[in-house]
Structure 1
Amino acid sequence: MRKILGLAIVALLTFSFSGVKAQNYKFGHINSQEILKAMPDRDSAEAKIKKYAESLQDQIEQLQVEFNKKYQDYLQKRATFTDAIREMKEKELTDMQQRAQEYQQVAEQDYQRYQAETMKPVIDKADAAIKKVAKANGFTYIFDTSSGVLLYFSEQSIDITPLVKKELGITK
Structure 2
Amino acid sequence: MVRRLIWIALCLLPLGVWAQTQARFGYLNYSEVLKAHPQYAEATAQLAGLEGKYDAEIQRSEDEFNRKYAEFLQEQKDFPQNIMVKRHKELQELMEKSIAFKNEIRATLKTARDKMLAPLTIELNDAIARVALKYNLDYVLNTEERNYLFINPAVGIDITADVETELGILPATNTTPAPAQTAN
Match in the other structure for 2:165: 166
**How big is the shift at 1:16?**
2.1
Q: How many angstroms apart in 2 are the aligned matches of 1:86 and 1:145?
A: 58
**Unaligned regions of 5+ residues in structure 2, if any?**
172-184
Asked whether the 8 Å contact 2:161–2:170 carries over to 1, the reply is no
Q: How many angstroms apart in 1 are the aligned matches of 2:29 and 2:122?
A: 15
Higher relative contact order (CA 8 A, sep 6+): 1
Q: How many angstroms apart in 2 are the aligned matches of 1:151 and 1:8?
A: 48
Match in the other structure for 1:79: 77
**Unaligned regions of 5+ residues in structure 1, if any?**
none
Count of residues paired in the alignment: 167
Query: Structure 1 stretch 26-35 or stretch 154-163: which is displaced more?
Result: 26-35
2:129 pairs, out of 116, 128, 131, with: 131
Cα distance, 1:171–1:54 mapped onto 2, change above 3 Å? same
Query: Structure 1 stretch 140-149 or stretch 11-20: which is displaced more?
Result: 11-20
For residues 78-97 of structure 1, the aligned pairs below 5 Å read 78-97=76-95
Matched letter for residue 5 of structure 2: V
1:148 pairs, out of 146, 149, 168, with: 146
Identity across the alignment (%): 24
Match in the other structure for 1:40: 38
Give 3-state SS (helix, strand or coil) of 2:144's partner.
helix
Q: How many angstroms apart in 2 are the aligned matches of 1:67 and 1:16?
A: 77
Matched letter for residue 36 of structure 2: A
Q: How many angstroms apart in 1 are the aligned matches of 2:48 and 2:32?
A: 21
Query: Structure 1 stretch 116-125 or stretch 22-31: which is displaced more?
Result: 22-31
For residues 41-60 of structure 1, the aligned pairs below 5 Å read 41-60=39-58
CA deviations 1:14-55 (Å, max 9, x no partner) are 432566765463222112122112111111111121112112
Query: Structure 1 stretch 57-66 or stretch 8-17: which is displaced more?
Result: 8-17
Q: How many angstroms apart in 2 are the aligned matches of 1:8 and 1:15?
A: 10
Cα distance, 1:70–1:19 mapped onto 2, change above 3 Å? closer
Cα RMSD between the aligned structures? Answer: 2.1
Matched letter for residue 79 of structure 2: F
Matched letter for residue 133 of structure 2: K
Q: How many angstroms apart in 2 are the aligned matches of 1:121 and 1:155?
A: 32
TM-score by length of 2: 0.80
Task: Select the structure of larger CA radius of gyration.
Answer: 1
CA deviations 1:63-120 (Å, max 9, x no partner) are 1111122222223333332222222112111111111112112212222222222222
Asked whether the 8 Å contact 2:33–2:160 carries over to 1, the reply is yes
Matched letter for residue 81 of structure 2: D
For residues 93-104 of structure 1, the aligned pairs below 5 Å read 93-104=91-102
Query: Structure 1 stretch 73-82 or stretch 152-161: which is displaced more?
Result: 73-82
Q: Which has the higher helix share?
A: 1
Matched letter for residue 93 of structure 1: L
